């Protein structure tokens, strides 16, 4: 059974996933993007791995020429099923059409759990609904996505939940005392300081303005907020931090390579992801939660984070889930963790224990289940 797997590009956190799946069944991966999506930090670039793959978009290609090259690969290959992520309108149309013309199963992979409210997406909604309701199987990021698909009329039997994962071996590696000391030196943290860590893009949908208000409202003199990442909102956030007189309580760290991030989670007292829903975005998952749990770091997240809605963050057990856009609730949750070492350690241990069941083998199994259902449906 030969599978064509089409997605936009391979991020660093998907290398192990794709390798795991390729070890279990014959899969040829096709990537149609160069990783210039707005949600992707350009510093990350794109990745490769020890699995059969090709980036079909050349340096001077536009989306049409890349889709034509992709279509030729899909038409000439002897594939028994086609897997496609929901990204990219033209590659999605092409992959779906080729699967139907060749009378082969089509499997959709999606993390969307709300209707996107833009003119483009409203115009495409009839096609989107047709796709959701007629795909032979759908791989959902988590139970929250499965619930959304059912509300859109997808038969439950065609939905396979795939646990959204990172490489737990790499993310959970043992961190040395010198690495932790280095992170604290970068932040200028004293021995009493407790680090609250945010990792990700500095973008509107991350709710960082609410995070700054929450931290500024807390009296804890030893609380230090570290913002790791780059993005278009940095100058606005710096201005907000000055207006809130946060001073040394906040550090804009900038970009940190993924290989170095485990040390930051190991150093942090807690991690935070205060994402907010916008007309175009609702946090599909938030893999920073997986990364934090691998280092025994509890989290505070908003209720529009997929990792919370999908069952990984368990309120009061391995972290706290608070209402989005509510800086007061966010501040209370942060304060509870930052001021209670026993609670922090208990939550960190619970997160580390749960994430062992949330790895790439479990994620690959979700894909296998969907593919096997679609193929056997024939």
pLDDT by residue (tens digit) across 93-144? 999 999 999 999 999 999 999 998 889 889 999 999 999 999 999 999 999 9
- 217 and 335 share one domain: yes
Instruction: Please state the separation of Cα 172 from the chain's center in Å.
Output: 17
Q: How confident is the model at residue 190 (pLDDT cuts 50, 70, 90)?
A: confident
| Domain CATH code at residue 8 | 3.40.50.2000
Same domain, yes or no: 188 and 253: yes
Q: Please enumerate, as own/partner, the contacts of 96-104 that have beta carbons within 8 Å and a separation of 24 or more.
A: 96/131, 98/71, 98/74, 102/75, 104/79, 104/80
Is there a single domain that holds both residue 275 and residue 155? no
pLDDT grade for 191, boundaries at 50, 70 and 90 = confident
Do residue 302 and residue 349 come from a single domain? Answer: yes
Mean pLDDT of 349-368: 97
pLDDT at 158: 95
Give the whole-number percent of the chain exceeding pLDDT 70: 100
Q: What is the largest CA-CA distance in the chain?
A: 65
Q: Are strands 319-322 and 250-254 parallel, antiparallel or unpaired?
A: unpaired
pLDDT of 18 above 60: yes
User: What is the three-class DSSP state of 226?
Assistant: strand
The verdict on 135 and 266 lying in the same domain is no
**338 pLDDT exceeds 60?**
yes
Check residue 278 and report its DSSP letter: B
Weakest-pLDDT range from 104-108, 277-281, 353-357: 277-281
C-alpha 284: how far from its chain's center? 6
Are residues 172 and 24 located together in one domain of the fold?
A: no
Question: Within this chain, do residues 143 and 224 fall inside the same structural domain, yes or no?
Answer: no
Q: How many distinct structural domains can be found in the chain?
A: 2
pLDDT of residue 72: 97
Helix (H) or strand (E) holding 318: none
Contacts of residue 39, Cβ cutoff 8 Å, sequence gap at least 6: 201, 203
Owning domain of residue 301: 168-355
Q: Same domain for 210 and 282?
A: yes
Instruction: Render pLDDT for 35-75 as a digit per residue (tens, 0 to 9).
Output: 999 889 999 999 999 999 999 998 888 999 999 999 999 99
Asked whether residue 156 falls in the same domain as residue 236, the answer is no
The residue-averaged pLDDT of 283-310 equals 98
Calpha distance 124→141 (Å, rounded)? 22
Question: Residues 348, 367: one domain?
Answer: no
Q: Does 160 share its domain with 172? A: no
| One domain, residues 349 and 368 | no
């Amino acid at each position: 059974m030969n599978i064509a797997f089409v997605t936009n590009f391979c991020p660093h956190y998907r290398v192990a996933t794709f390798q795991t799946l390729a070890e279990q069944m014959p899969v040829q991966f096709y990537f149609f993007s160069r990783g210039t999506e707005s949600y992707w930090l350009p510093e990350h670039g794109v990745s490769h791995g020890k699995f059969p793959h090709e980036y079909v978009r050349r340096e001077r290609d536009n989306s049409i020429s890349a889709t034509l090259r992709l279509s030729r690969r899909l038409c000439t290959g002897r594939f028994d099923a086609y897997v496609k992520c929901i990204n990219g309108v033209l590659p999605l149309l092409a992959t779906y059409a080729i699967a139907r013309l060749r009378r082969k199963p089509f499997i959709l992979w999606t993390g969307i759990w709300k209707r996107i409210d833009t003119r483009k997406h409203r115009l495409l909604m009839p096609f989107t609904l047709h796709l959701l309701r007629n795909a032979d199987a759908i791989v959902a990021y988590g139970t929250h996505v499965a619930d959304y698909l059912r509300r859109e009329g997808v038969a439950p039997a065609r939905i396979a939940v795939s646990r959204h994962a990172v490489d737990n071996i790499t993310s959970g590696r043992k961190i040395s005392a010198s690495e932790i000391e280095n992170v604290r030196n970068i932040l200028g943290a004293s021995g009493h300081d407790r680090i609250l860590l945010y990792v990700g893009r500095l973008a509107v949908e991350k709710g960082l303005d609410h995070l700054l208000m929450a931290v500024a409202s807390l009296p804890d003199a030893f609380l230090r907020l570290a913002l790791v990442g780059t993005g278009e909102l940095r100058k606005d956030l710096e201005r907000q931090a000055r207006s809130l007189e946060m001073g040394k309580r906040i550090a804009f760290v900038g970009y940190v390579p993924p290989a170095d991030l485990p040390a930051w989670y190991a150093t942090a007292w807690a991690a935070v992801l205060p994402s907010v829903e916008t007309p175009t975005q609702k946090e599909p998952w938030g893999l920073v939660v997986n990364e934090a749990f691998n280092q025994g770091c509890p989290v505070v997240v908003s209720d529009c984070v997929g990792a919370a809605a999908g069952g990984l963050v368990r309120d009061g057990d391995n972290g706290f889930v608070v209402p989005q856009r509510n800086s007061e609730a966010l501040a209370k949750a942060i304060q509870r963790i930052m001021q209670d070492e026993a609670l922090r350690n208990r939550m960190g241990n619970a997160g580390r224990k749960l994430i062992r069941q949330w790895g790439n083998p479990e994620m690959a199994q979700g894909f296998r289940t969907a593919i096997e259902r679609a193929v056997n449906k024939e």
